[in-house]
Structure 1
Amino acid sequence: MSVLLVEDDLSIAIVITAALEAEGFGVVHCQSIAERDRLLEAETYQALVTDVMLPDGDGIETIHRVRALHPGLPIVILSAQNTLDTAVRATDTGAFEYFPKPFDIDELARTVRQAAGAGQGGTIEGEEPLGDGLPLVGRSAAMQTVFRMITRVLRNDLTVLVLGESGTGKELVAEAVHNLGHRREGPFVAVNAAAIPAELIESELFGHEKGAFTGAVARHIGKFEQAAGGTLFLDEIGDMPMQAQTRLLRALQSGTVRRVGGQEEIRLDVRIIAATNKDLEPEIAAGRFREDLYYRLNVVPIHMPPLRDRRDDIDVLARHFLQHAANEGLPRRQLTADAAELLSRQPWRGNVRELKNFIYRLALLAREDAIDSESIQSLLITEAAAEPEGEIGNIAEAVCRWLATERPASGTIYQAAAAAFERPLFAEVLRATGGNQLRAAQALGINRNTLRKRLSELALDPEEFVRRS
């Protein structure tokens, strides 16, 4: 069996060749599209492994020439252009698999063996090319996993469960699956299960007949019917009341819904995507979420990573939001390199949503078109000062802000941080003990002499904290 490898980076080509040869393949390597086409005209291969960016063109845009020569040839696409757009373009070609760089070489070798064994490729008959509309941004490894999962569900109606913390962009995943999938011509209907009163949620989802309950003065079409031919997005599914969970399970099992107060069974024609920021397994154990419903929804799980696990994306996200802010009428701004680096060090507990809101405020309030680290620091300090008094602080966030503001020299960070932490800590304990050093040392759990030494080094006078009558 032989594989044609199209890769202009010789170091990568050597590694791939070694892995494929270990799997028993003979490998023919070339570095350009023109050479690829010449080889395909002369020989038959069991699989094609190709990069996207090649010296004489785009490997994806020229796949149609490969299909013309060998319609059933399995194709594996590699790319350093790690965007959702690239993943979708690769999927549009009918490629067997898409690997963003860097990739696991053993996984690539296994995939090529599967592709050669399957012996099938080509586009799916009757399919049209997918349109644009790419709401997700990110090139980190974590987001590449998300992109690959999205491309796997575009041509089917499997139920998707999107998991992740608040603000990570779960609805954007649902929109991407809808807008890029075969139901994109149908409606996209989003329902926030946590925002609908428990007594109204069944009516909202399934509709009701006139007179079904007090106030039902006319027939109401529910979200399932409104989404016919398209996608129904059930957000915050973990907060759905138990009675509504039971009816939802029945609808998913039977493929039909019945309006509240009605007798007619209405056949469903809708793709279901659900999302939650909760860990549903503890909810199941506590009896707040049906286990059978969980397995109905969790057919294809997609985990949205928190922003702290994709810090490489913060720069590109920030620039993306600045562009959107300019498109919406805010001043057009640019980020300097030090500003982008400072943003990447922030904790962003509210994830992408918090970053977006911060960038929009920055675009509005910045005094210069080029936003530098000082502009970001000043806004961070202003917002920290505006936090409600008594709000519980986050030490990790405080450390990040202190590092960003103070920027201690390399080799002095620990000593400077320890002093910055100890000074307010000792002051608060001395204040609580009325300046009594013995009691303060006991409360802190350190030796009294150690406390005295540190107070002297920190220029803290315990007499300032002695209570006066």
Structure 2
Amino acid sequence: MPASNPARPSQPARILVVDDDTDMLRLLSLRLQAAGHEVVAVGSAEAALAQLDTARPQLVLSDVRLPGRNGLALFDEVRARHPSLPVILLTAHGTIPDAVEATSRGVFTYLTKPYDGKELLAKIAQALALSAPAATHAHAHEAWRADIVSRSSRMTDLLAEAYMVAQSDASVLLLGDSGSGKELLAQAIHRASPRAHRPFVAVNCGAIPEALLESELFGHMKGAFTDAVSNHKGLFQAAEGGTLLLDEIGDMPPALQVKLLRVLQERSVRPVGASQSTPIDVRIISATHRDLEAAMAAAQFREDLYYRLNVVTLTLPALADRREDIALLANHFLDKLARKYDKRVSGFAPEALKALTTAAWPGNVRQLFNVVEQVCALSTTPLVPLTLVQRALRTPSTQVLSLSEARQRFERAYLVDLLKMTDGNVADAARLAQRNRTEFYRLLQKHALTPGHFKSDTADIDDVAPERHD
């Protein structure tokens, strides 16, 4: 026994373990239980299938060689019943090819016997993290933040702070990259506030032309300008008693910044063309992806407005900084979009989910949603395959060569390098390769390489000796 028990997992799971070797089954059970997991141990595929629906495991760990129905057949049945349930196979040396082939069909991974205990626990933790349903995220029962799918510690801390801020009437400045979810957080703050029963109104200050933004925010009177054919209530008045989100506040024109500051100071708005101001009671949340301190230094944003808006600052992390949330978000979006498109899509293939969790995500959560929407619309199978995810991410598929093809390519490139190095001298090249000249000539003939073409005063080999594809 090891000197100390493995670290207990942050999310213990129920694991169905299948092995006909009673000693191995007992050893696996003890190791997983010591790591904090609940174990259902059985000795055959048939017994495993009988437990599948009653025990409701979150992961299946099975030996490949089982009496009667083997581990691969068990995997096929598990996949048919529960497409998103991860399966890990344990395999002896002789069944490695079968296990490798099974991973291409959706097995999460395989481990060879004798297995490494730490590696086993690490793979189990990874499989559980990638397949965890969105419903397990923290505070799922709290309606105020129900649209924010997360279990990362950074988001947990941020949401706790947001909830406290929501109870006050202080102005909030939300910072974060484009697509990181600033509007969702603003809505959550509104729902957690005493103003929840009043309107939530959002305006993108960078999306409305400067000539129209003043009228949109503050309203206008009939006849105030050419197209003002009637009185128009602005967004400040539309949000009366509630919350107004000024999104992309960093893009607001300087002239409007002055007028906004006056509104915030006086707590009243004067519609364009009006002679009197109208009192307002609105909680202001502003958001931007810009560095406002740099904008102030460049005289692009008013310092007095900045401090009026920035009573409390909350910063949303980029999606790449909360990778533990990617699988949750992807599955949440997929479930939502499958209903929208009436598609029978139940999850992502393990390798597709891995691709999502390791992608760069410069567009953050918004980009993830767009990727999931594309793969959902195009998927023709219950599990979204890796190829669709790669296509949506615009990443090229890795070319997979057979061992024979890879060996042929390496061998030819090696011979070319030797001939270039020796200026086409076969004796020197053979000596460097530690092969006799007869064998070396045979290799050159096999790859259609002519030593004379590598003389320094002759054409390059790629121009005159095409590669053979024997």
TM-score (ref. length: structure 1): 0.55
In structure 2, distance between residues paired with 1:215 and 1:11: 64
Aligned partner of residue 170 in structure 2, secondary structure: coil
Does structure 1 retain, via aligned residues, the 8 Å contact 2:243–2:284?
yes
- State the structure with more CA Rg: 2
How do residues 306-321 of structure 1 correspond to structure 2 at under 5 angstroms?
306-321=318-333
Structure 1 position 212, deviation (Å):
1.8
Q: 1:291 to 1:379 in 2, by over 3 A?
A: same
TM-superposition CA deviations, 1:103-160 (whole Å, max 9, x none): xxxxxxxxxxxxxxxxxxxxxxxxxxxx556111111122112211211122221111
Structure 1 position 323, deviation (Å):
1.2
Unaligned ranges ≥5, structure 2: 1-6, 11-135, 414-419, 421-448, 465-470
Q: 1:262 to 1:280 in 2, by over 3 A?
A: same
> Does 2:341 correspond to 1:329?
yes
Letter of the 1:270 partner, please give it.
V
How do residues 429-448 of structure 1 correspond to structure 2 at under 5 angstroms?
none
Letter of the 1:345 partner, please give it.
T
Structure 1 position 301, deviation (Å):
1.0
Partner of 2:78: none
Does structure 1 retain, via aligned residues, the 8 Å contact 2:237–2:280?
yes
> Does 2:360 correspond to 1:347?
yes
TM-superposition CA deviations, 1:32-83 (whole Å, max 9, x none): xxxxxxxxxxxxxxxxxxxxxxxxxxxxxxxxxxxxxxxxxxxxxxxxx762
In structure 2, distance between residues paired with 1:312 and 1:303: 18
Q: 1:223 to 1:383 in 2, by over 3 A?
A: same
Letter of the 1:405 partner, please give it.
T
TM-superposition CA deviations, 1:390-424 (whole Å, max 9, x none): xxxxxxxxxxx57x83699xxxxxxx9xx99xx9x
TM-superposition CA deviations, 1:145-202 (whole Å, max 9, x none): 2211211122221111111111111110111111232111111111111111111111
In structure 2, distance between residues paired with 1:322 and 1:145: 26
Unaligned ranges ≥5, structure 1: 1-8, 13-80, 89-130, 385-400, 409-415, 424-436, 438-458
Partner of 1:66: none
Aligned partner of residue 263 in structure 1, secondary structure: coil
Does structure 1 retain, via aligned residues, the 8 Å contact 2:177–2:289?
yes
TM-score (ref. length: structure 2): 0.55
Structure 1 position 378, deviation (Å):
4.4
> Does 2:370 correspond to 1:369?
no
> Does 2:390 correspond to 1:380?
yes
Which of the numbers 153, 156, 169 marks the counterpart of 1:157?
169
In structure 2, distance between residues paired with 1:284 and 1:354: 30
Letter of the 1:302 partner, please give it.
L
Structure 1 position 379, deviation (Å):
4.1
Does structure 2 retain, via aligned residues, the 8 Å contact 1:311–1:344?
yes
Aligned partner of residue 367 in structure 1, secondary structure: coil
Percent of pairs with identical residues: 43
Q: 1:198 to 1:313 in 2, by over 3 A?
A: same
The count of residues paired between Structure 1 and Structure 2 equals 284
Aligned partner of residue 153 in structure 1, secondary structure: helix
Letter of the 1:188 partner, please give it.
F
In structure 2, distance between residues paired with 1:182 and 1:313: 29
Q: 1:406 to 1:170 in 2, by over 3 A?
A: farther
Q: 1:333 to 1:10 in 2, by over 3 A?
A: closer
Q: 1:382 to 1:172 in 2, by over 3 A?
A: closer
In structure 2, distance between residues paired with 1:150 and 1:380: 35
In structure 2, distance between residues paired with 1:138 and 1:407: 35
Does structure 2 retain, via aligned residues, the 8 Å contact 1:330–1:363?
no
How do residues 135-214 of structure 1 correspond to structure 2 at under 5 angstroms?
135-214=147-226
Q: 1:209 to 1:289 in 2, by over 3 A?
A: same
